[in-house]
Structure 1
Amino acid sequence: MSISPIDTIIIAVYLVGIISLGVFAGFKKNISSEDQFLGGRSLRWPVIGAGLFCANISSIHLVGLASSGYQHGMVIGNFEWMASFCLILLGMVFAPFYFRSKITTLPEYVEKRYSSGARTFLAAIFIMSALLVHIGISMYAGAKVLEAFFGINFVISIIGISVATAIYTILGGLKGVMITDTVQAVLLLLGAALLTFFGLQALGDVGITSWAQLKEAVKPEQLSMIQPIGDPEAAGRLGLREYSWYSILFGYPILGIWYWCTDQTIVQKILSAKTEKDGRDGAIFAGFLKILPVFVMVLPGVIGYVLFKEKIGEDNDSTLMVMMTELLPVGVRGLMAAGLLAALMSTIAAALNSVATLTAEDIFKRLRPEAADHELVKVGRITAAVVIVLAMLWSSQGAKFGSIFEAINKIPMAFAPGITTIFLFGVFWKRGNRQGAMAALMFNVFIGLIYLCIDIPLVGTTQWINKELGIPFMQVGWYLFLLSSVIYVTVSLLTPAPAAEKTEGLCWSHPLDALRGKLEGTITDPRVMAGILLVIMIILYTLLH
């Protein structure tokens, strides 16, 4: 795919502009650790919502969702729409305790609720997952996209992306990241919307002008969001669909609650809120934004199947590239490329800032409680620089994974179900204690690593669970959550109840407490916004079932 001078100028102007904006928005000569890591706790809900959206959407999503739309259809959009329900949980159930506790990191909350050992364990998991998944794999995918689309050398792409993102993340802190995220959210959605628009226009050119006609032109169930459990042609002895309603309904929330409600990279945006209401509204606003990718990132893949299936063939990963080549005019193509960079840089920037915060607050500050504030900032910045270098080295190993999109969802199985268990029970069940939490976490990590070894696979070439038995990875998460929950409850009941300070102000006395209290700002009250989002989601699922 050749790139025109106009497209090159657009990309270059974007890079210079976004770096300058990030540094200008957040840089202070004598910045405090709270400013560096939490934006001075001064951000409002629209910025927080945009930041949550951008921290999640990366080049993997833009390429992967179009690819999966071409291959599997609209059903892959459940990864986006189910996130809306998890963001409602974040805003209504978890955010109040995070904000009221005045914590800087999620492991800090775990220490308050359980123990210092659980805090250390969780901090280590978060740092490794950010380095390996959020930064390393995203960097690899982004570089491969730029190489395939525009002929930019893979190594040069990685170095350029890393340096550009590191500059405004290290110098601008979280405020710089969040302000640039707001701009990048608009650019990202605009680029994706333009591709969808040109795709719909092209459908009209071949005589497809209605949903019914589109349904006739695609594969069976390619436009359906809900699919049955069984499929005679599915891999493995059990013949289970990878993305059936059962897998999505029970499996996604396990990954979703971990990612959206407990992961430092995401929740750090909530901790930066000016008020509790801003944090809660920001989470729910992000839930509204997550409706859009189904229509501007998954649907283009379905359109690509109708228009270019002869050209794309079995190489579904080339769907986005082919559509950009065939549909986008000069200038718009550069805008789309800038959107790809926006998605990638936002994800890396969010993860870099979270790793810096975790290292400074959960490791260095605990080793040196007397450390001055400027030392924490320095340690955070050095950490970000070191991690970006390590991630660059790790990203070169990305080619060893068969499917990146599947890998980034499988890797968290080694810890996500256990983390979801201790947070979910932690806010709803006062009897849960530190012994139960540690037992659940260690059990999940032990079993999860065995699962990864035999099903990525890290050892050998046979995927025993997914391909041989035919158990989808989404269902594996659900089963690991059930087992972790049994471990958590059993060990908690067999050991002493937690002290009062381990539950006071850290968990709900009654599940309905999250819905009680006076309305704040009517339409922008978190409960009203959550109710509107819930109704919209029900309507959308009804229309696309």
Structure 2
Amino acid sequence: MNAASVLSFILFTVTVAIISWYKTRKENLQTSTGLFFANRNLGFLVVGGALFFTNISAVQFIGENELVYTNNMSVMAWGLSSVFAMLLVSEFIMPVYLRSGISTTPDFLEERYDAGTKRFVSIIFLVSYIVNMLPSVLYSGAIAFNGLFHVSETFHIGYWQTIWLLVWLIGFIGCLYTVLGGLKAVAISDTVLGVAMFAGGMVLPYLGLKYLGHGSVAHGFNTLLTSHNTHLNAIGGPHDAVPFATIFTGMLLVNLYYWGTEQYIVQQALASRNLAESQKGIAVASLGKIISPLLLNIPGLIAVQLYTHLHNTAEVFPQFVSDVCPPVLTGYMAAITFGAALTTFNAGLNSTSTLFVLNLYKPLKAWQQKPVTERQLVNAGKRFELLVCFLAMIIAPFIAFAKQGLYTYLQMVSGFFSVPIFTILVVGLVHKRVPAIAAKIGLTFFILTYAASQLFIDTGLHFLHVLAILFVLTVLLMLAIGAWRPMPVPFVQQWNNVVDLQPWKYRHLYAVLLIIAMIGVFVLFSPWGLAR
């Protein structure tokens, strides 16, 4: 453990914390709106930074570089194709949410269906965060931290014990950060870290190529293009980590769910001061997704040339950073990775608390006819965050036993919760007479059949194709129920907007430019580009 690396890490991490504290010191966190939505006053740069860096966690640093190292650049499709989904959400879904004045995505499902559907979906969200998202973030952060600072070697403790120690350290700091700072602190730190990540993304590939070329970037780049060039291909075949065809089936659905329904993501956009700021923020985050392969994929690509065999391929990114960077920059990259784990964990915690307090705790008190104050809501939310944090820290180390790699594990398990929720949202938006019972039956059918396909029956299909097939079947099932027992009165959305709904004037122009850039990156890493 190098002293300069540690000092650099501490300096940058403390700097981010101080900036977040300074920017949020006057925020009123004693109301649920202040704690959960930053008083709905975020500008587009903060919204964009929060969306981007809440999405980019240590899971991506570790998982995507691991899949590039073991397979090829096809994993890049997850982040790059999400640009199209983000633009669709910006144009069609975000105006609906802001027009309704909702606080959580299940709020809209309550308006469209009924309170029972809202509770059902809220519980699905909470289970997803507790057993999948939050533990994965903690585990990947622990792997990165150990790989960058060699904690297990320095303190002469076993790898398993080290992962437990680091998981609990990250979890404790993240929980403290969220409880004390609320969403505004998370959003500010996301923005600062997003700028830092962009800088790191420019420097790290340069240093990697220089290291590969023994001091010559040009020689390193030539080696990258002429050796193991099959790894340069982002157009995945049927047996690759991400077959290219899945971009147009299950991956599109997962991305639309993630950017348009996932509470801890949508909550960042719902905190914007108006629709235009929200749409500009989504455009900023989309630009970040186009640039992100520099940090999330290129290190794994260069690592293919550097390491013929790694005992634990999940450590390819921290091993790469540790080898190619000087100690000060190693500490800087460690701070970005640590911040990525922390901010995603913080956003997830804040959203679990939001869902619990507003969708379960508050309605329960109303049903019991017990008055509840804002202070009681805030206190209940903070207590629930502590509970969720504790459960996530217990579950996280056991992800080490996942056989398919961290990133594939995360995406496969998220299928249990993601596309089913998106399915009932889509049907509710396009069909005005499908009843609430159809949403409940659809959710149950989708979750049970997907579980059977992944746990008991070998379909021979990629899980993303399975999700797409089940999406179609569930839509048909819900429409059939709607034809059999339609709502007597068609759904009409109520206008309850709390922010200005004037859309961003230049959104279509920037959407076209972003889509062209997205296609250009795919072509670059294809048999028509670098992977010839």
TM-score with structure 1 length normalisation?
Answer: 0.87
Quote the residue 1:526 is aligned against. 507
Matches within 5 A, 1:333-344: 333-344=330-341
Residue 217 (str. 1) matches residue 213 (str. 2): no
- When residues 46 and 432 of structure 1 are mapped into structure 2, their CA distance, relative to the original with a 3 A threshold, is farther
The correspondence for 2:481, drawn from 482, 491, 494, is 491
CA distance in 2 between partners of 1:422 and 1:198 (Å): 47
Q: Does structure 1 conserve the Cα–Cα contact (< 8 Å) formed by 2:209 and 2:220? A: no
Cα offset, 1:433, TM superposition: 3.1
Q: Does structure 2 conserve the Cα–Cα contact (< 8 Å) formed by 1:49 and 1:285? A: yes
The correspondence for 1:13, drawn from 8, 11, 24, is 11
> Residue 471 of structure 1 aligns to which amino acid in structure 2?
L
Q: Deviations over 1:13-40 (max 9, x none)?
A: 3333333443443355662110110000
CA distance in 2 between partners of 1:150 and 1:498 (Å): 63
Cα offset, 1:317, TM superposition: 2.5
Cα offset, 1:436, TM superposition: 2.2
Q: Which runs of 5+ in 2 are unaligned?
A: 152-161, 527-532
Quote the residue 1:417 is aligned against. 419
CA distance in 2 between partners of 1:505 and 1:243 (Å): 41
Cα offset, 1:189, TM superposition: 3.1
Q: Matched residue of 2:232: which SS?
A: coil
Q: Matched residue of 1:414: which SS?
A: coil
CA distance in 2 between partners of 1:37 and 1:389 (Å): 20
Q: Does structure 2 conserve the Cα–Cα contact (< 8 Å) formed by 1:433 and 1:498? A: no
Q: More displaced, 317-326 or 375-384? A: 317-326
Query: Number of paired residues?
Result: 505
- When residues 484 and 242 of structure 1 are mapped into structure 2, their CA distance, relative to the original with a 3 A threshold, is farther
Quote the residue 1:101 is aligned against. 100
Matches within 5 A, 1:68-467: 68-152=67-151, 153-205=162-214, 209=219, 214-220=224-230, 222-229=231-238, 234=239, 241-306=240-305, 308-310=306-308, 312-313=309-310, 315-369=312-366, 370-402=371-403, 403-454=405-456, 465=458
Q: Does structure 2 conserve the Cα–Cα contact (< 8 Å) formed by 1:42 and 1:273? A: yes
CA distance in 1 between partners of 2:149 and 2:68 (Å): 23
Matches within 5 A, 1:6-45: 6-27=4-25, 28=27, 31-45=30-44
> Residue 530 of structure 1 aligns to which amino acid in structure 2?
A
CA distance in 1 between partners of 2:209 and 2:88 (Å): 35
Quote the residue 2:155 is aligned against. none
Cα offset, 1:293, TM superposition: 1.9
Q: More displaced, 295-304 or 185-194? A: 185-194
Cα offset, 1:248, TM superposition: 2.2
Percent identity of paired positions between Structure 1 and Structure 2: 24
Cα offset, 1:187, TM superposition: 2.2
Q: Does structure 2 conserve the Cα–Cα contact (< 8 Å) formed by 1:94 and 1:427? A: no
Q: Deviations over 1:355-377 (max 9, x none)?
A: 11111100111112331112111
Cα offset, 1:394, TM superposition: 1.5
TM-score with structure 2 length normalisation?
Answer: 0.89
Cα offset, 1:170, TM superposition: 1.0
> Residue 2 of structure 2 aligns to which amino acid in structure 1?
S
Cα offset, 1:470, TM superposition: 3.4
Q: Which runs of 5+ in 1 are unaligned?
A: 235-240, 455-463, 507-516
Q: Deviations over 1:207-241 (max 9, x none)?
A: 85597763321243x22222344xxxx4xxxxxx4
CA distance in 2 between partners of 1:161 and 1:139 (Å): 7
> Residue 24 of structure 2 aligns to which amino acid in structure 1?
G
Q: Does structure 1 conserve the Cα–Cα contact (< 8 Å) formed by 2:8 and 2:329? A: no
> Residue 141 of structure 2 aligns to which amino acid in structure 1?
G
Q: Does structure 1 conserve the Cα–Cα contact (< 8 Å) formed by 2:28 and 2:34? A: no
Q: Matched residue of 1:87: which SS?
A: helix
CA distance in 2 between partners of 1:246 and 1:315 (Å): 29
- When residues 384 and 207 of structure 1 are mapped into structure 2, their CA distance, relative to the original with a 3 A threshold, is closer
Q: Does structure 1 conserve the Cα–Cα contact (< 8 Å) formed by 2:144 and 2:315? A: no
CA RMSD of aligned residues (A): 2.4
Q: Does structure 2 conserve the Cα–Cα contact (< 8 Å) formed by 1:139 and 1:158? A: yes
- When residues 490 and 242 of structure 1 are mapped into structure 2, their CA distance, relative to the original with a 3 A threshold, is farther
> Residue 246 of structure 1 aligns to which amino acid in structure 2?
A
- When residues 351 and 498 of structure 1 are mapped into structure 2, their CA distance, relative to the original with a 3 A threshold, is farther
